[in-house]
Structure formats: structure tokens, C-alpha cells
Structure 1
């Protein structure tokens, strides 16, 4: 596939996820030190951790899909004829694209409601709408990755086909 798109996803989604995970690490370190030695935790640490976990998970989705590093159940691969493997992969990616797009649209609607009602976190009062918008955008990016794979299968998508035994006719 495209090395440019690979770099773009790596330096956007990958970097954002890595920085959020790095932030969680330091936040937890200082929160534990504060509790142990100063009898004082960081105010809102749980809320910040939850938001950063959302960034880690949803930020990694497009990159994981792009690189094919997600969990794959191949229990039916033994019964699908080799001639249909390409079609099978395309149908799966189309279903994934539709699912991620649908979830992104639902989250976009939720984000609009959050913005309309002024939803904020309980302790720090951080606005929830931007977080939901980010989640929706990353779900949309994941849907686009899968949609691209409907048109052009990723490299190695059919490499295990040679190892799949042909069913007797």
C-alpha cells in the first residue's frame, strides 16, 4: 500500500496514541507519589486518565486497521474456496467500514448533544463534546481505511491462501 499513508497514520494516530499513553504513565506516577508521600492525589486524575485512554484506544484504531494488527477469526477459512478469498476479504472490509462509519455517525450525534447541553466532566468540568468529536473523527478515519481495503486489498491479505487446503468437490 502507500508508504505515504502509512507514515501519515504513524505520525498522527500513532503519535497521538503514544503521547496519550505517555501522559497516563506520568500522571499515574505523580498521582501515586502524591498519595504515598504527601497524602494528596492529583485532583481529577481519574477523569484525565479516562479521557487519555479514549485517545489511546480510538487513536490507535485507524493504525491497527491499516496494518492489519487486529484480531482475526479464521475459523471458516478452511471451508471457503480459494477462488472466493478475495471476495471474502472485500466483504469483511466493507462490513467493517460500514460498522465504523455507523458508529462514527452515532458518536457525532452524541457529541452534538454534549455540545448543546454543555456536558462536562464531574470533577474538573472539562467539556465532553471535543472528546466525542475526536472519537467520531477517528472512527471515520478507521472506516476510510477499511473502505480503501475494499477497493485495494492490503499486502499479504491473501498470502495464507496458498496454505489453505482446497476442499474436495
Structure 2
């Protein structure tokens, strides 16, 4: 089941983030080449880049959380006993789930407002609401990943916390 979830995340959020990054790369190449050799940039290139960056950043969030590759503060890990570390991991994931869930809620309210007002980008007149809905979806997916870690799965130690190092140092 976990392999299926990982595969679904990789082929949805991961693939979208990778394609958006690939699109940014090509857009930048075409834009710079056009400015340099033809004295014309890509119309609306900045707006397209901004939207693609949102997809890269928010699309990567569920994968980063699933792989437990986020930034960690581990200065006190050598002093925390193993039984407390398990509680700490679940508590941190619960807080993360709450924060990401709240951010998803805020983004949905923002998306509704964008739809009501008909907000668009300045140059290309692209609707902003679908981008906000996508951000809310990725935030909700990230919250669900952390919630899964609270109730179903305890995350596997990351390279930051290899099993051989955890609990090795003891307070003297």
C-alpha cells in the first residue's frame, strides 16, 4: 500500500513539478536567446515563469514530506531517548499536518475570492484562481501525508538521522 501511495505521489505531484521545472528551463532559454539575438523577449514570460515556479514549489511539497527530506533541527537528538523520539516525530507531524491543512484552507478561501473577482495576470490575462486551487490541493495533499505519518506510519530515518547515529551520544 505504501509503495502504491509513493508511486501515486511521484506520478502526480512529482511529475507536475518536474515538468514545470523543465518548462521554466526552456522558457528561460528561449527568452534569453530571443532577447540576445532578436531583441525580443517572450511575451508574458515573467508571468508564465511565476506560475511554473508555483507548480514546482507546491508540487514538490508532498514529495519532500513523504520522503522526510525537509529541513530538520537535530541538535538535541542525541539527548532525547528513543521512546520520546517516537512521540516527538508523531507530534511534529501532527503540527505539520495542522499547519499545512490550515494553509490549504486559507488558499481555498483565496481561490474563491480570485474566482469571484475574476482576477487575472496583468499581461496574458490568465485566470489566477486555478493556480490558487492547485496550490490548495498540494497543501492539502502535504497535510494528508503528515497525517498519515501521525496515525499509520512512522517515517523512516533520513540521511540526517541514520539508525547507527540515533541514540549513539548519551548525556554525561
TM bin (shorter chain): over 0.9
For the 8 Å contact 2:90–2:150, the answer to whether it is kept is yes
Unpaired segments ≥5 residues, structure 1: none
- Say whether residues 1:142 and 2:142 are aligned partners: yes
Cα gap change, 1:164 to 1:106, in 2 (>3 Å): farther
Map of 1:69-84 to 2, 5 A cutoff? 69-84=69-84
Cα gap change, 1:68 to 1:93, in 2 (>3 Å): same
Give per-residue Cα distances to partners, 1:91-113, cap 9 Å, x unaligned.
Answer: 00000000000001001100100
For the 8 Å contact 1:65–1:145, the answer to whether it is kept is yes
The whole-number CA distance in structure 2 between the counterparts of 1:12 and 1:117 is: 30
- Say whether residues 1:165 and 2:169 are aligned partners: yes
Map of 1:1-169 to 2, 5 A cutoff? 2-151=2-151, 152-156=153-157, 159=163, 162-167=166-171
| Cα RMSD for the two superposed structures | 1.6
Cα gap change, 1:109 to 1:160, in 2 (>3 Å): farther
TM-score, length basis structure 1: 0.94
For the 8 Å contact 2:82–2:167, the answer to whether it is kept is no
The whole-number CA distance in structure 2 between the counterparts of 1:163 and 1:80 is: 8
The whole-number CA distance in structure 1 between the counterparts of 2:155 and 2:75 is: 20
The whole-number CA distance in structure 2 between the counterparts of 1:142 and 1:150 is: 13
1:80 Cα deviation from its structure 2 partner: 2.0
Q: Runs (4+) of structure 1 moved beyond 3 Å?
A: 160-164
For the 8 Å contact 2:81–2:167, the answer to whether it is kept is no
1:53 Cα deviation from its structure 2 partner: 0.2
TM-score, length basis structure 2: 0.92
Cα gap change, 1:124 to 1:162, in 2 (>3 Å): closer
1:162 Cα deviation from its structure 2 partner: 4.1
For the 8 Å contact 2:77–2:166, the answer to whether it is kept is no
